[in-house]
Amino acid sequence: MKDLARFSRGASESAKAAPASRNATASQSVPQVQLLTISDEEAGQRIDNFLLRVCKGVPKSHIYRVLRSGEVRVNKGRIDQTYRLAEGDVVRVPPIRVAEKQETVVPGAEFRILLEDSHLLVIDKPAGVAVHGGSGVSYGVIEQLRAARPQAKFLELVHRLDRDTSGVLLIAKKRSALTNLHDQMREGTTDKRYFTLVQGDWKNARQHVKLPLFKYSTPDGERRVRVQADGQPSHTVFSLLRRFGDFALLEAELKTGRTHQIRVHLSSSGFPIVGDDKYGDFALNKALQKADGRRIAFKRMFLHAWRISFRHPESGDTVTLKAGLPQECASFLRSLEGGEEGELLPYGMLACAEG
């Protein structure tokens, strides 16, 4: 359990209460008051979000409790949870002790880089890797990048991809870049495109799907989404790229960015994504995991973030980045057509994406 008894006491009172006979080892385990000076990269964020990052492992309820109690001070003055930090602010963080637990060792990892400069790191995320830890996952891409780059002062996800979705993933290296790109996404000025393979006889060359999406949790706590009248407005544009027998390869263009948007829009329209273990055709997925004649086995979800366009947060220039279709997806498509060589995608999409 978290020990919050000291939150309501000043540092001097705590010192008087401490027994003089404590040994050096014990004294090292006692939490101390921290005075933290806000850097340029930390400026602009709310004090509650800052404390949640600094006090890792401390529940949100405890963070807000010490904020309300006045134990947290900025420049020696009381503040509330909505205060936004400025460069040079000195934050007093009270002593917070948590029960000791074994730390998860995060193995550092790098991923294929599509772009890197002083503001951004853009990678091609493989399928099967979570973008961050949580919900039964000890660590993800962002934790692995931080472990591999201990010198990096700031690394934060700009957006997210589902664990089983591969492709273009943006990471900010400056807070200013993070807020700028978030603003662009809220304004709808970014352009995100995905490749996906669905089962069914897709008819239209271009199809708008506008179905409201509602987020909920299953009894075991798993996050899910369904179409519901009072859900969030959601809009995806699908373009038919090519048919492969009973399957259709589509490009999905996100007009809004809701959780599981592409997956639920397609499933609810009667075209489940191949390999989707939440909203797909489970019998089909199981059958495709085994090879059948020339068709090879396929054991992932066929959803790949292949292209993104945005304004660079520093220069304002338009940046377009592409990630080629993963080899396992390309090989599966070729096996559906009997292994024949030739263009898998129209307009050279595959070739230019792999450049």
pLDDT in the model for residue 19: 40
pLDDT in the model for residue 98: 58
Find tokens 């400056």 and name the residue.
174
Q: Which residues contact 274 (CB under 8 A, 6 or more apart)?
A: 197, 198, 199, 247, 280, 284, 285, 288, 298, 301, 302
Q: DSSP strand E in the chain: where?
A: 34-37, 73-74, 77-78, 90-93, 112-116, 120-125, 156-157, 166-172, 191-199, 206-210, 213-217, 223-227, 235-244, 247-254, 303-311, 318-322
Spatial distance between the Cα atoms of 244 and 187, rounded to a whole number of angstroms: 36
The fraction of the chain above a pLDDT of 90, given in percent, is 65
Rounded mean pLDDT, 142-167:
94
pLDDT in the model for residue 352: 44
63 or 25: whose pLDDT is higher?
63
Indicate if the pLDDT at residue 18 is higher than 60: no
Pairing mode of beta strands 303-311, 166-172 = parallel
Contact 128, 163 (CB under 8 A): yes
| Paired residues of 152 in beta bridges | none
Angle, helix 60-69 to helix 47-54, in steps of 10 degrees = 120
Q: Look up residue 296 and give its two tokens.
A: 């090879």
Q: Look up residue 100 and give its two tokens.
A: 């000791």
18 or 269: whose pLDDT is higher?
269
Indicate if the pLDDT at residue 202 is higher than 70: yes
Residue 240, classed as helix, strand or coil, is: strand
Lowest mean pLDDT among 7-11, 179-183, 279-283, 320-324: 7-11
What secondary structure letter does DSSP report for 219? T
Contact 303, 271 (CB under 8 A): no
91 pLDDT tier (thresholds 50, 70, 90) = very high
- Element holding 25 (H helix, E strand): helix 24-29
- Element holding 66 (H helix, E strand): helix 60-69
Q: Which residues contact 68 (CB under 8 A, 6 or more apart)?
A: 81
Indicate if the pLDDT at residue 203 is higher than 60: yes
Domain ranges for the chain: 35-93, 113-337
| Paired residues of 208 in beta bridges | 237
329 or 342: whose pLDDT is higher?
329
The fraction of the chain above a pLDDT of 70, given in percent, is 83
Phi, psi of 127, deg, nearest 5: -70, 150
At CA 164, angle to CA 126 and CA 241, rounded to 5? 85
Spatial distance between the Cα atoms of 282 and 253, rounded to a whole number of angstroms: 25
The candidate with the shortest Cα–Cα distance to 95, out of 153, 23, 10, 162, is 10
Please report, in angstroms and rounded to a whole number, the separation of the first and last CA atoms in the chain.
Answer: 53
Q: Which residues contact 131 (CB under 8 A, 6 or more apart)?
A: 125, 140, 141, 142, 157, 160, 161, 163, 169
Rounded mean pLDDT, 204-219:
93
Q: Look up residue 145 and give its two tokens.
A: 């990048």
342 or 70: whose pLDDT is higher?
70
Residue-wise pLDDT for 222-263, tens only, equals 889 999 999 999 999 999 999 999 999 999 999 999 999 999
Indicate if the pLDDT at residue 275 is higher than 70: yes
The domain 113-337 belongs to what CATH superfamily? Answer: Pseudouridine synthase (3.30.2350.10)
Mean pLDDT taken over the chain: 85
Contact 81, 47 (CB under 8 A): yes
The domain 35-93 belongs to what CATH superfamily? Answer: RNA-binding S4 domain (3.10.290.10)
Rounded mean pLDDT, 149-155:
92
Residue-wise pLDDT for 287-328, tens only, equals 999 999 999 999 999 999 999 999 999 999 999 999 999 999
Residue 242, classed as helix, strand or coil, is: strand
Burial tier of 208 (Cβ tally within 10 Å: 0-12, 13-18, 19+)? exposed
Residues with catalytic roles: 162
57 pLDDT tier (thresholds 50, 70, 90) = confident
